[in-house]
Amino acid sequence: MDNAFGEPQNIVVLGGTSEIGLAIAHHLVSPVTRSIVLACRDLAKGEQAAAALRSDTVEVSVVAFDAADTASHERVIGDIVEAHGDLDVVVLAFGQLGNGEATGADVAEAAALAHVNFTGAISASVAVANRLRKQGHGTLVVLSSVAGERVRKANFVYGATKAGLDGFAQGLGDSLEGTGARVLVVRPGFVHSAMTKGMKAAPFATTPDKVADVTVRGLRRGSRTVWAPGILRFVFSALRHVPGPIWRKLPLG
């Protein structure tokens, strides 16, 4: 359980090879941290990431997790609890960016992206929330995106999945009110990472480390939503109201 300073003993990263998810785990490690679980598809890559987190006092485990295999999510979460005890912070960090041209025209590509980013995320979140509710404490951190604030034509399937996930996460957080458990929604802008390598950076681009810093500060403040960087809250409050004909011409990709 988190101590008085909001420092968790047990941390789980769903999408355990995510650069942002790993950065958040790094920032959360404190003298009270006992275990970190990296749940991912690529176990070899997960083991490489685990090596950077392990210490004499922190046990880091890598377990198989497939966001698309929704039937396995409750079992995976149950196995983690059985092995490590209560969940203090669970970071939902998996997701695919997809190719906007392909997902906008290919039925199978669009469905596959939506299944992972939306259906898989909902399934995993409900499995985690059920456990947190039963515990009476713990936080689910959901990595959303500013792409869901107003969906851009360049990659509208991806943006739509983030819009749906963001709305779901807010509703899930409301449903946990009074249980001791909560949800923190993180809305990063463009993040320099392996997923965005080669892409033109958007204004106010950030890094996994900076997103992690914003996230951890939000966790300790008890925030419901954080933006990374914070200025994007004001940028998108204006962009939401830009008329459609103008929005479609903006050089936002």
Task: Of 15-19, 25-29, 80-84, 204-208, give the lowest mean pLDDT range.
Answer: 204-208
Q: Is 4 exposed, middle or buried (0-12, 13-18, 19+ CB in 10 A)?
A: exposed
Q: At a CB cut-off of 8 Å and minimum separation 6, what does 151 contact?
A: 159, 160, 163
What is the band of 239 on the pLDDT scale with cuts at 50, 70, 90? confident
Model pLDDT, residue 253: 53
Residue 214 structure tokens:
């914003």
Quote the CA–CA distance of 83 and 36 in Å, as a whole number: 11
Q: Which residue(s) pair with 35 in the sheet? A: 10, 59
Instruction: Note whether residue 2 is domain-resident.
Output: no
Give 142-186 pLDDT, tens digit per residue: 999 999 999 989 899 999 999 999 999 999 999 999 999 999 999
Quote the CA–CA distance of 124 and 19 in Å, as a whole number: 19
Instruction: Note whether residue 102 is domain-resident.
Output: yes
Domain with 210, as residue range(s), is 10-247
DSSP percent split of the chain into helix, strand, coil, nearest 5: 50, 15, 35
Q: Which of 65, 158, 190, 227 is catalytic?
A: 158
Quote the CA–CA distance of 14 and 65 in Å, as a whole number: 7
Could you confirm whether 176 is annotated as catalytic?
no
Give 129-139 pLDDT, tens digit per residue: 999 999 999 99
What is the band of 42 on the pLDDT scale with cuts at 50, 70, 90? very high
Cα dihedral value 27, 28, 33, 35, nearest 10: -90
Q: What is the mean pLDDT of the segment spanning 22-39?
A: 96
Instruction: Note whether residue 253 is domain-resident.
Output: no
Q: At a CB cut-off of 8 Å and minimum separation 6, what does 113 contact?
A: 96, 98, 103, 157, 158, 161
Model pLDDT, residue 39: 98
Q: Is the confidence at residue 36, as pLDDT, over 70?
A: yes
Element (H, E) at 35: strand 35-40
The pTM is what? 0.94
Model pLDDT, residue 1: 58
Instruction: Note whether residue 60 is domain-resident.
Output: yes
Looking up tokens 């963001």 gives: 166
Instruction: Note whether residue 252 is domain-resident.
Output: no
Give 47-101 pLDDT, tens digit per residue: 999 999 999 999 999 999 999 999 999 999 999 999 999 999 999 999 999 999 9
| Amino acid identity at 231 | I
State the CATH number of the domain containing residue 230. Answer: 3.40.50.720
Radius of gyration in angstroms for the set of CA atoms belonging to the chain, rounded to a whole number: 18
Bond before 229 cis per omega within 30 degrees: yes
Instruction: Note whether residue 4 is domain-resident.
Output: no
Q: In what order do the strands lie in the sheet with 59-64?
A: 59-64, 35-40, 10-14, 89-92, 138-143, 181-188, 225-228
Q: Is the confidence at residue 196, as pLDDT, over 90?
A: no
Instruction: Note whether residue 25 is domain-resident.
Output: yes
Residue 153 structure tokens:
């034509």
Alpha helices in the chain (DSSP H): 19-28, 43-53, 73-84, 100-103, 107-114, 121-135, 156-175, 208-221, 232-239, 244-247
pLDDT winner (highest mean) among 6-10, 44-48, 238-242: 44-48
Instruction: Please give the tally of structural domains in the chain.
Output: 1
Model pLDDT, residue 26: 97
Instruction: Note whether residue 3 is domain-resident.
Output: no
